[in-house]
Structure 1
Amino acid sequence: MPLPQNLLDYDITNASVTVWLFKKSGGTGGTVPNYNGRWITTTDALDTALRTAMQTQRDQIEETIPFSLLAQNNEASALAIDTLETHAPIVAEKTHAPLQDKAVRSLQQIQNTSFYVIRLVHNNIPLLGVRKTDTTWQSKKRRMKIDVVFDNEGLTLDEQPAFSLSQYLDFFIFGEQIFVLNKSNFESVLHYKAAHEEDFAALRSQDEFAALFSDMTAIQTYVGTNKIHLRRASAIRQKGHYLDEEFMQRLRAGFARVGLNIEFDNNGRIVPTIDTCPDIFQALLDHRLTSSFSETNYDVQDATPII
């Protein structure tokens, strides 16, 4: 699907610009992250450059794809997700009014910024562009560098602290929707990876899931803190195929026919190893498919049922 028409028609060129810098803390153990935002004064030239970056990014989006744990976009698409499924409303609310007590007053308030928000407003309608910061914002990283500039055909020491604002965005927040351009950074800013870790812990403790296996040590080692494997574990829990006894019976009867490398014990339980975990996950996700035409087996990233 294309972007919503009101976003395509949004007048970025004539919108006002405010830049907000956010530091993020907490968010572990199921708690809501603490987002501390401050706005900073910008010049007209910088505002123009930021509008151009926002417009370029929006205009490159030719289609939107519904966000799912395993969905991926490309340079011409964005993943669409409702804001209420994320912590985005907290961030958006904090950028609503640039009060004086939230203005940046010192270098210390800039250093170690986690992400920044470019907030456009036109006809009282906000459009937010969000980007995770790079290492130029981290005080520890900066202590390892000597900043220089090219001047008078040579290099000279740059004594003014410099920070980079990218021409690329990680996601837009517009109305009740988010349009994700960089999934990894989106997950980091809004703590989606933390949610996946909690999902995996809940999945492992579920009796029905644990009963599928002779032992889950290999499963836990395989997933670890790998963000892709955590997403897949969350998707397994979300899909819930393992709760369907008929699905599991068909898996036990047909895994070899579709080329899956899975071992079962005498009680019908899966015996996981690090080598077989990828195939176990493909099976529980129902992502090993057979073409009706070529009769070839394929692995897919995501599967959308056709009704």
Structure 2
Amino acid sequence: MFNGRWVGITQNLSDTLRGAVSQALENVNETIEYDILAQNHETSVLTLGADETHIGLIEGQAANPTEARKVTRLEQIANAEFYMLRFASDAGVLLAVRKTNATWKTRRSCNALRAVFQDEELDIDTRPAFSIEPFLDFFVFDGDVFVSNKTRFESVLDYRAGHTEAFHDLVNQSEFSDIFSEVTTIAEFVGTNKIQLRRAIAIREKGHFRDPNFMQKLRTHCAEMGLNIDFDDEGRIVPKPESCRDIFQALLDHRLDSRLSQRLYDVQSTEQVG
């Protein structure tokens, strides 16, 4: 799945990257448990166990920088999907990962004309160059992953492919499919949309559809909750393209009734407080 190589860097670049990573870690003042629908902000990270990801495959290669894996030619580093910084200290090993930008793509770099300013004039610089940004997408330390950019993290570790497979398994589970008159409309609604895939997996994790009491309350209170959901004579949900969003809101339990404002709200995620 991963074919990693290592490359030597100058002391100047090493010091700069170390400073960038240190600053990024200092900016974190909150950790949030990783959830399929959870989102972080500028000063928080999502956390999950490293054993829940494929990071071990990357970490294993980084821990064994053999001469055969050293970058000696440009084509060995061009088109890399991501780069990883490895810092070893007495406290342990910290990995910092960033998905590469367009400057690492051969096609894009070949079409660009790079110029430098020196001796009071511009000149063409034909040396290969890569942009290394001082922003990291996720960190790994002591068996945990700390995610600062969820989308890039999922892209690097192929989490979205895992979501697709998990959704396919879900629609083939009788516990789930039996609450519908048919599941083709649901499958078409989700498709490959990363947001809907996340919501579908969250539905699986919450498991409200497995609770007969929850499903009966949905049938009873559907109309007063303002949910556009139809049921057949057997009490199964009849999915339609225009009702799938409300179906997902209901199965996620994301249509909430405020006792304070006496209004209904759709929410992105829920955290039980009592």
Relative to the length of structure 2, the TM-score reads 0.95
| 1:142 matches 2:109 | yes
> Which one-letter code corresponds to 2:170 in the other structure?
L
Matched position secondary structure for 1:39: coil
Question: Within 2, Cα distance between the matches of 1:145 and 1:261?
Answer: 52
> Structure 1 residues 168 and 61, CA, compared in 2 at 3 Å: closer, same or farther?
same
Structure 1 residues 149, 224: CA separation in 2 closer, same or farther (over 3 Å shift)?
A: farther
Name which of 65, 88, 108 aligns with 2:32.
Answer: 65
Deviates more, 1:192-201 or 1:144-153: 144-153
| CA positional deviation for 1:124 | 6.2
Asked if 1:274 is matched to 2:246, the reply is no
Aligned to 2:186: 219
Q: Could you tell me which residue of structure 2 aligns to residue 285 of structure 1?
A: 252
Distance 1:120 1:158 in 2: 32
Q: What's 2:262 paired with?
A: 295
> Could you say which residue in structure 2 is the equivalent of 1:176?
143
Give the aligned CA root-mean-square deviation in angstroms. Answer: 1.5
Q: Which residue of 1 aligns with 2:173?
A: 206
1:154: how far off?
4.4
**CA positional deviation for 1:217:** 2.8
Moved over 4 A (4+): none
The SS at the match of 2:48 is: strand
Deviation at 1:261, TM superposition (A): 1.6
Instruction: Give 1:94's aligned residue.
Output: 61
Cα offset, 1:153, TM superposition: 4.4
The percentage of aligned residue pairs carrying the same residue is 46
- Paired with 1:131 and 1:218, the residues of 2 have a C-alpha distance of 37
Identify the match of residue 231 of structure 1 among 191, 194, 198.
198
Distance 1:153 1:276 in 2: 65
* Partners of 1:222 and 1:244 in 2: CA distance: 24
8 Å contact from structure 1 (residues 119, 127) kept in 2: yes
> Residue 270 of structure 2 aligns to which amino acid in structure 1?
A
After superposition, the Cα gap between the structure-2 partners of 1:154 and 1:255, relative to the gap in structure 1 and judged at 3 Å, is: farther
For the residues of structure 2 that align with 1:248 and 1:154, how far apart are their CA atoms? 73
Q: Please report how far the alpha carbon of residue 82 of structure 1 lies from its aligned counterpart in structure 2 after TM superposition.
A: 0.7
2:162 maps to which residue?
195
Residue matched to 1:9: none
Given the superposition, is the C-alpha separation of residues 255 and 139 from structure 1 closer, same or farther in structure 2, using an over 3 Å criterion?
same
Q: Distance in 2 between matches of 1:155 and 1:226?
A: 46
Correspondence for 2:95 = 128
Whole-Å separation in 2 of the counterparts to 1:171 and 1:285: 28
Alpha carbons of structure 1 residues 154 and 270: separation in structure 2 relative to 1, 3 Å: farther
One-letter amino acid of the counterpart of residue 293, structure 1: L
**In 2, are the aligned partners of 1:199 and 1:237 still within 8 Å (CA)?**
no
How many Å apart are 1:104 and its aligned residue? 0.7
CA contact (8 A) 1:104 1:110 kept: yes
Looking at structure 2, the residues matched to 279 and 150 of structure 1 have their Cα atoms a distance apart, in angstroms, of: 58
Contact 1:64 1:79 in 2 (8 A): yes
Residues 77-108 of structure 1, C-alpha deviation per residue, up to 9 Å, x if partnerless? 00011111111122122211322222111111
SS where residue 94 of structure 1 aligns?
A: helix
Offset from partner CA, 1:153-212 (integer Å, 9 cap, x none)? 444322111111111000010111111000001111111111100011011111222222
Q: Return the match for 1:54 from 15, 21, 25.
A: 21
Unaligned runs of 5+ in 1: 1-33
Taking the aligned partners of 2:220 and 2:52, their CA distance within structure 1 comes to 38
Counterpart contact for 1:62–1:77, Cα < 8 Å:
yes
Q: Residue by residue, what CA displacement relative to the aligned partner does 1:231-253 show, whole Å, maximum 9, x if unpaired?
A: 11111111111111111111111
For residues 123-156 of structure 1, give each alpha carbon's deviation from its aligned partner in whole angstroms, at most 9, with x where no partner exists: 2621111000111111223233233333444443
Structure-1 separation of matches of 2:160 and 2:232: 33
